[in-house]
């Protein structure tokens, strides 16, 4: 990789499971990440990460408390530590505030999930794409969606476009968690964000327009059984996911793009009941003279996602099936990664969902710090060269395979 174009300072905003993984992986590469600062609203979580890294790698990191919604607080913290890049692993509601702070201080920005307003279960890139000119004028870079999906799935697509296809026409992203955490009901990342995401109306891209279908818990939802490598047949549900929005814009020739995720009947049954009794609502309700948001209360009752790793067994399998043209022939290729929950816990104390997001978050930061990725403005990850990112996935814990595959049908 290129030599550092910076002082090698990274500020990680957030202290949950994904931030834990990213901090661990940064600590492994002192030649790139010379100084690590972890900041969060909950200082005790930062202290836990600090102790774990000191114990495992013998490295000291800096920690601080911050309200990431408070732009002046973030600005002061950036002034104090002078990071070269801010890696936002906080909540999607906070993306714009953290981008504002980075703009004010001229610091590169990276995240793993696009912005959504706190009072509406809706996410899209338009709010962040609106920052392009300001980041360009400031001479700094914002990289959006450097997790797994979005993130690695985007890079898989860019890699396939560069090396495997002349044109990709059909894209299916398949996300399978074949693990078991031992709880009756839990979410693998922030429950509030997870529930808002999976209860939305589904969209997929077809012949130049978005097609809507029912949410996964509604009658008429679209699903099929797919044989995943190493874990076997799992029911996979059509779901809208944010990377589709940027991929259909940046990957030329796409005629159809879909996202699929596995859910157990147990999970879906719990979610339907919670929805039916009002526990997934995101608006305030009156309770004994207090205003509460039901989904936030539910979040307080459910297991902390970072704690799930202690009992998690099984694997995740996430990847892309792509059909298109190469040298005049129609071909299909499947690029995927398999990640083991128990192995992730041994290395970082987290489960594989956090691991598969935290590793590419670190790699994205590495690409920026080492000058592999350069540019002024706001970029989705598939707009950047995929090659060294793909190499780093193999090196730092998320090895991938490319195999031939049958095309997926238009309908099920």
Distances in whole angstroms, Cα of residue 115 to Cα of each of 112, 122, 130, 230: 10, 9, 12, 34
Q: Where are the domains of the chain?
A: 9-148+352-395, 152-350+400-404
Output the pTM of the full model. Answer: 0.93
pLDDT of 121 reads: 64
Count other Cβ atoms within 10 Å, centred on residue 162: 12
pLDDT of 77 reads: 97
- Interatomic CA distance for residues 190 and 201, integer angstroms: 20
- Interatomic CA distance for residues 44 and 359, integer angstroms: 23
**Of 349, 257, 307, the residue nearest 22 (C-alpha):** 349
pLDDT of 1 reads: 45
* 99-146 confidence digits (pLDDT tens): 999 999 999 999 999 998 776 667 789 999 999 999 999 999 999 999
**One pLDDT digit (tens) per residue for the chain, 412 residues:** 444 567 999 999 999 999 999 999 999 999 999 999 999 999 999 999 999 999 999 999 999 999 999 999 999 999 999 999 999 999 888 999 999 999 999 999 999 999 987 766 677 899 999 999 999 999 999 999 999 999 999 999 999 999 999 999 999 999 999 988 877 787 766 777 778 778 889 999 999 999 999 999 889 999 999 999 999 999 999 999 999 999 999 999 999 999 999 988 888 888 888 888 888 888 899 988 999 988 888 888 888 776 776 778 999 999 999 999 999 999 999 999 999 999 999 999 999 999 999 999 999 999 999 999 999 999 999 999 999 999 999 999 999 999 999 999 998 8
- Interatomic CA distance for residues 404 and 68, integer angstroms: 45
Strand segments (E) across 251-345: 256-262, 285-287, 290-292, 315-326, 329-340
* 214-263 confidence digits (pLDDT tens): 999 889 999 999 999 999 999 999 999 999 999 999 999 999 999 999 98
DSSP letters of 176-207? EE--B-S-SS--SS-HHHHHHHHTSPEEEEET
Q: Which residue has the tokens 């794409």?
A: 129
Distances in whole angstroms, Cα of residue 56 to Cα of each of 49, 331, 345: 11, 46, 13
Evaluate whether the domain defined by 9-148+352-395 bears CATH number 3.40.50.720. yes
Read off φ and ψ for residue 87, nearest 5 degrees: -100, 110
* CATH code of the domain made up of 152-350+400-404: 3.30.360.10
- Interatomic CA distance for residues 257 and 148, integer angstroms: 17
Count other Cβ atoms within 10 Å, centred on residue 263: 19
Q: What is the dihedral of CA 159, 165, 168, 173, to 10 degrees?
A: -50
**Bond into 409 cis (ω within 30):** no
Contact (CB, 8 A) for 341 and 333: no
Give the burial class of 314: count Cβ atoms within 10 A of its Cβ; 0-12 exposed, 13-18 middle, 19 or more buried: middle
């Amino acid at each position: 990789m290129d030599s550092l174009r910076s002082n090698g300072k990274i500020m990680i905003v957030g202290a949950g499971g994904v931030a834990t993984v990213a901090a661990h992986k940064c600590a492994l590469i002192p030649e790139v990440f010379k100084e690590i600062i972890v900041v969060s609203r909950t200082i005790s979580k930062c202290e836990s990460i600090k102790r774990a890294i000191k114990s495992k790698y013998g490295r000291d990191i800096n920690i601080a408390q911050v309200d990431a919604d408070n732009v002046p607080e973030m600005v002061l913290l950036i002034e104090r530590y002078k990071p070269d890049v801010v890696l936002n692993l906080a909540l999607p509601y906070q993306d714009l505030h953290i981008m504002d702070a980075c703009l004010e201080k001229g610091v590169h920005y990276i995240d793993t999930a696009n912005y959504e307003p706190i009072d509406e279960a809706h996410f899209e890139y338009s709010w962040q794409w609106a920052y392009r000119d300001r980041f360009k004028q400031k001479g700094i870079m914002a990289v959006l969606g450097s997790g797994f999906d979005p993130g690695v799935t985007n890079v898989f697509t860019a890699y396939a476009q560069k090396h495997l296809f002349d044109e990709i026409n059909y894209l299916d992203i398949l996300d399978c968690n074949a693990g078991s955490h031992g709880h009756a009901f839990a979410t693998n990342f922030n429950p509030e964000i997870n529930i808002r995401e999976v209860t939305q109306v589904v969209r997929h891209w077809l012949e130049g327009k978005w097609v809507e279908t029912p949410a996964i818990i509604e009658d008429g939802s679209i699903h099929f059984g797919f044989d995943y490598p190493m874990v076997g047949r799992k029911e996979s549900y059509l779901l809208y996911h944010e990377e589709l929005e940027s991929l259909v814009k940046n990957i030329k020739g796409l005629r159809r793009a879909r996202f699929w995720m596995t859910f157990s009947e147990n999970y879906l049954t719990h979610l339907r009941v919670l929805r039916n009794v009002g526990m997934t609502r995101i608006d305030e309700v009156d309770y004994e003279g207090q205003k509460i948001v039901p989904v936030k209360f539910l979040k307080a009752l459910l297991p902390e996602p970072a704690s799930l790793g202690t009992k998690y067994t099984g694997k995740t399998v996430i990847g892309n099936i792509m059909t298109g043209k190469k040298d005049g022939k129609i071909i299909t290729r499947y690029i995927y990664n398999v990640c083991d929950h128990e192995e992730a816990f041994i290395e970082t104390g987290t489960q594989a969902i956090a691991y598969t997001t935290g590793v590419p978050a670190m790699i994205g930061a590495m690409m920026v710090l080492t000058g592999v990725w350069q540019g002024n403005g706001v970029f989705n990850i598939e707009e950047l060269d995929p090659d060294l990112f793909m190499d780093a996935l193999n090196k730092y814990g998320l090895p991938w395979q490319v195999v031939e595959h049958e095309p997926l049908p238009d309908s099920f």
